[in-house]
Amino acid sequence: MAAVLFCVFIFELGLFLLVYPWLELWNRNYLFEVFPAAREFMLSQHVRGAVSGLGILNLFIAVSETIRLRRFSDGG
């Protein structure tokens, strides 16, 4: 059961990291008020792409873990 929950968590995290940097909420981050110098860096298309890339990596891990779990549960 823990492995299934892990796969679901990683999949949801991957979707979040893939989509969130491109939403308007990303621009209204609280950390920009605390660290104003980080605003330009975090709003960069390169940083948004890197975060989305981590999301794609998480999705890949979730799919591979699901396949591994399925093989393990089939007994083969």
Q: Which long-range contacts (CB under 8 A, 24 or more apart) does 42-50 make?
A: 47/21, 48/21, 48/22, 49/21
**How far, in Å, CA of 30 to CA of 36, rounded?**
10
Domain membership of residue 63 as a residue range:
2-73
Express each pLDDT in 30-63 by its tens digit.
888 899 989 999 999 999 999 999 999 999 999 9
Task: Give the total number of structural domains in the chain.
Answer: 1
pLDDT at site 76: 55
**Which DSSP symbol is given to 75?**
T
Instruction: Inform me whether the pLDDT recorded for 75 exceeds 80.
Output: no
Inter-axis angle of helices 45-73 and 2-19, nearest 10: 160
**Which DSSP symbol is given to 63?**
H
- % of the chain surpassing 90 pLDDT: 71
pLDDT at site 59: 97
For the segment 3-11, the average pLDDT, to the nearest whole number, is 93
